[in-house]
A and B are shown apart, each in its own frame.
Chain A
């Protein structure tokens, strides 16, 4: 089973764990629900839509409310540290949590105590903590955008906000930034770099570049990175190997966006609804997988 860990922007939302469902543009977990806007609920909605198509319906969620003060994230970190070893997941996606290296390390200890090591995917704040912990290589996949790739490539930056200018200026040189991130052990086994062109890479270099269809507006729509990570996590959970799953996910996310005829004002929910159609079209040509 796939597990998704993250936060929602409501400080009254308590720590909640359980299987998640999607209904009327809301994520339901336990007795609670939260609207799909962007962030972790968008990732969850995309994973559910993709999972429905792929036939892997059960997805487990860990959610807490956090508006940036870090209290909800710390509650979540503590719960995972104490309880994760008792779960059995095929893959875990860590998402919008307040970056905290000490707590990150405690969660990793709990992961090590699981009976079977799940595929580990990190995005957003948890990816920042994973890089800064020096344990990036323990992860199977990071999903940075181009700005976050520059942060991974800067061995001295503790947060994207402090990425040094000479590295930021290399954003059009994705291959060099990927190589630099691996050189300093700040990348996971695979990288899926999200941007105008998406890149799948590993330590040997770029495996694939996905740049069609082209809809420039996708870059500015909040949640397109979340939906991509959600599709990817559902594909990985359905036993498709990680690099191929990353390539398919990038193609599907771009296609779903294209079907929505996006403008910079498009909402992510308008794109998520097209994920099954995009998956259907993309998977038709990939029966060998």
Chain B
């Protein structure tokens, strides 16, 4: 569920039946998928990215625009022209978005900066407010810190002490934006340690 709806003006929410509002911006060819929970966004992203490798489409996880008053605090932006293909992929994975609507205003861009710190035996990667640290020799996750949502202590409890490739993934057991940020940090540290 969204926690910053109060910021959003009480405008009429675009309906599926509304005509697409074309503007001078280049967003008129984009749509967004709205989901109830962050965990559904993460699952949908995973399936759509796999499918995108096949058909060449581009999707991005973004923050919802102000007029969206349902769903969670992440949406998936996709090329509207690929709506049917996207829907087919999601239905095959048993994922159903709350809404599919055209983009009519700017979207919040998630953090895309990673900071890496080398502690000799250990490596830490930070994404937004989340940090993950592994022991380089063993690739065991030794600490998770930062964040403020209640799944952070839960994720730390479930992941610390496990090998990078054996730990449960934040995208599978996390529920919040902090969980999603940890997933990004996890992917980055995995990329740095295993590739």
Partner of A69, one of B175, B180, B181: B175
Partner of B63, one of A40, A158, A264: A158
In whole angstroms, what is the CA distance A7 to B148 when docked?
11
Q: Which of A106-114, A214-222, A251-259, A273-281 contacts B (4 or more CB under 8 A)?
A: A214-222
Residues from chain A with a CB closer than 8 A to the CB of B111 are: 160-163, 165, 168
A98 touches B122 (CB 8 A): no
Q: Which of A263-279 contact B (CB under 8 A)?
A: 263-265
Cβ of A102 within 8 Å of any chain B Cβ, yes or no, is yes
Q: Chain A interface residue count: which class?
A: 35 or more
Cβ of B195 within 8 Å of any chain A Cβ, yes or no, is no
Cβ of B146 within 8 Å of any chain A Cβ, yes or no, is yes
CB distance from A151 to the nearest CB of B (A): 7
B122 touches A220 (CB 8 A): yes
Query: Known contacts A9-B157, A224-B145, A263-B122: does B177 contact A67 (CB below 8 Å)?
Result: no
Residue of B nearest to A171 (CB): B115
Total B residues in contact with A, Cβ cutoff 8 Å: 51
B interface, over-half SS: mixed
Q: Which of A63-100 contact B (CB under 8 A)?
A: 66-70, 72-73, 96-100
Residues from chain A with a CB closer than 8 A to the CB of B73 are: 158-159, 161
B148 touches A148 (CB 8 A): yes
In whole angstroms, what is the CA distance A159 to B109 when docked?
11
CB distance from A70 to the nearest CB of B (A): 6
Q: Which of B98-114 contact A (CB under 8 A)?
A: 108-113
Residue of A nearest to B126 (CB): A147
A264 touches B133 (CB 8 A): yes
B176 touches A162 (CB 8 A): no
Can you give 12 A-B contacts (C-beta < 8 A)?
A38-B145, A126-B148, A132-B4, A160-B128, A160-B177, A161-B73, A161-B128, A164-B109, A219-B131, A221-B145, A264-B119, A265-B143
Binding site for A on B (CB under 8 A): 1, 3-7, 63, 73, 108-113, 117, 119, 121-122, 124, 126, 128-129, 131, 133, 135, 142-157, 160, 173-181
Binding site for B on A (CB under 8 A): 7-9, 37-40, 66-70, 72-73, 96-102, 123-129, 132-133, 145, 147-148, 151, 157-165, 168-169, 216-217, 219-225, 263-265
